Amino acid sequence: MPTPAWWKEYYAREREGLDLDALLDAAPEIDFPERGALVFPHTRLAATGRMVAAVARAAARARREILAVGVLHGVRGPRGVHEETGLARDEFSLDGFRTLYGRACAREGIAPRMVARYPLEVGDRPDDLPGLEELRRRAETSLVVATADPIHHGIGYDTPEARDERLAETAADARTRVEEQLSALARGDFSEFARLCARDRSDFRNAGPVVAALFPQATWTIDDFTLVDYSQALGCARPTWVAAGRISARRR
């Protein structure tokens, strides 16, 4: 599997060939929950840019500080909430959003205000995670976003009996699996959530419980969903795909 630094460069090259304004113009109009969070994918913007751009444009128009909860790929380190230096120096999961948010802010005539944090080794005990109190303080005044790719599936990910993402039944099953993950978060059943993340190779295993701890008893919904082919990126056969969704967590 490529390193985070490889992916960071891969996605940077992709963004160079994209029309960011077109992505923002084509994105659906959405609003932030009054007390909650919006979750976007970090898959290829060419495939899922509408999801990321929708959140980025809503964030810019809200004109408030953004607390962005990212994913740390391929690193090991102490349990806690990490800043952008150190372990996160090669991390890419927030890069697409940061770029679109920056462009959306420029169009609004304002400066971007974004704080990025990366939880690690959360497990099933988010409430005693070192650094969580800082996130709770920021969430009192900031808008919260997070990123997740909740399923990695197929030949490139060593999945037995890989299923073709072009089939409707594959997409329906994938959506059901993600809904099962979100249901566990809504119940605060973090042990079950960890089990489901392992089943689906979900990289939401750290950020998910943190967002659920910030907004307990939230209703989690999938607002947009697709499966993204990654066989070419990984240089392997199909089916090799990643589930991408725009997800909202709203306090009841």
CATH number of the domain to which 218 belongs: 3.40.830.10
**For the segment 179-200, what is each residue's pLDDT rounded down to a tens digit?**
999 999 999 999 999 999 999 9
Query: Cβ(148)–Cβ(247) under 8 Å?
Result: yes
Three-state secondary structure of the chain: CCCHHHHHHHHHHHHHCCCHHHHHHHCCCCCCCCCEEEEECCCCHHHHHHHHHHHHHHHHHHCCCEEEECCCCCCCCCCEEECCCHHHCCCCCCHHHHHHHHHHHHHHCCCCCEEEEEEECCCCCHHHCCCHHHHHHHHCCCEEEEECCCEEEEHHHCCCCCCCCCCHHHHHHHHHHHHHHHHHHHHCCHHHHHHHHHHHCCCCCCHHHHHHHHCCCEEEEEEEEEEEECHHHHCCCCCEEEEEEEEEEEEC
Share of the chain above pLDDT 90, in %: 97
Question: Given pLDDT bands bounded at 50, 70 and 90, which one contains residue 9?
Answer: very high
In this prediction, residue 159 has a pLDDT band, given cuts at 50, 70 and 90, of very high
Among candidate residues 45, 54, 46, 62, the one with its CA nearest the CA of residue 26: 54
Instruction: Tell whether omega for the bond before 239 is within 30 degrees of 0, i.e. cis.
Output: yes
* Cα radius of gyration rounded to whole Å, the chain: 17
pLDDT in tens, 102-134: 999 999 999 999 999 999 999 999 999 999 999
When pLDDT is cut at 50, 70 and 90, the band that residue 252 belongs to is confident
Given this model, what pLDDT does residue 85 score?
A: 86
pLDDT, position 1: 84
Provide the domain limits for residue 165. Answer: 4-251
CA 171/CA 232 separation, integer angstroms: 20
Number of domains forming the structure of the chain: 1
pTM over 0.85: yes
What confidence score (pLDDT) does residue 238 get? 97
Q: Is the pLDDT of residue 86 over 90?
A: no
DSSP bridge pairs for 196: none
Token duo for residue 24: 């923002």
> Distance between CA atoms of 119 and 241, rounded to whole angstroms?
25
As a whole number, the mean pLDDT across the chain is 97
What is d(CA 25, CA 20) in angstroms, rounded to the nearest whole number? Answer: 9
